[in-house]
A and B are shown apart, each in its own frame.
Chain A
């Protein structure tokens, strides 16, 4: 079983739409959770950390369900600049903070 699994998409949405997608992780000892964004042929960049209570950063909302080992990201009022691959990332403290990446969910926002 993959450590981190994501719906690969692609999600093709019009500007202004809401898009949401999920991720599951297999290691119940995972302690930290993140969404990174990766543009084509670029490095991953941290979008937001994900906290147990759920958290919001502008148009982005992340949720964590530890019981189901499930993470979600919701993007409201999509912009063209939101087009990217979104990487679900987890780490396990005892693994020295090495990050385990999902394969990514591709989002394309069209005008």
Chain B
């Protein structure tokens, strides 16, 4: 069964450093998402991406965040200057085959980011 993959599984960084989290969505999916989950809290939407542009972003997704689909397979989330409060599990998700209204979002295993 196809699945979303994410790398790295864990990332430890110093405050102020840049990090790039990588995701490979399910092949032929067209809609891509990043969510985050701070330890002990709910999953929160960050950004959605379709047709090579951001379609929606949350208040969390400020100027320190960016997303990119540099090639036909990868989908990345960059945090330019990490803060302590960016420590969380970051989930990538994808959905939708071409021509369908498939709603189910499939989640990757997540990247656990720890900012020191």
Contacts and interface: CB of A to CB of B under 8 A. Distances in A.
B31 A97 contact: yes
Interface stretch (A13-21, A41-49, A58-66, A73-81): A41-49
Interface residues of B, number: 26
Contact of B33 (A43, A98, A103): A98
Interface residues of A, number: 22
Q: What secondary structure prevails in chain B residues at the interface with A?
A: strand
Given A32-B103, A43-B91, A96-B55, A101 B44 contact: yes
B45 A42 contact: no
B42 A97 contact: no
A102 B41 CA distance: 9
Nearest to B40: A103
Given A43-B107, A96-B55, A99-B93, 18 more contacts: A32-B103, A42-B109, A42-B110, A43-B110, A44-B43, A44-B107, A46-B105, A87-B42, A87-B43, A91-B103, A97-B31, A97-B48, A99-B43, A99-B45, A101-B42, A101-B43, A101-B44, A103-B41
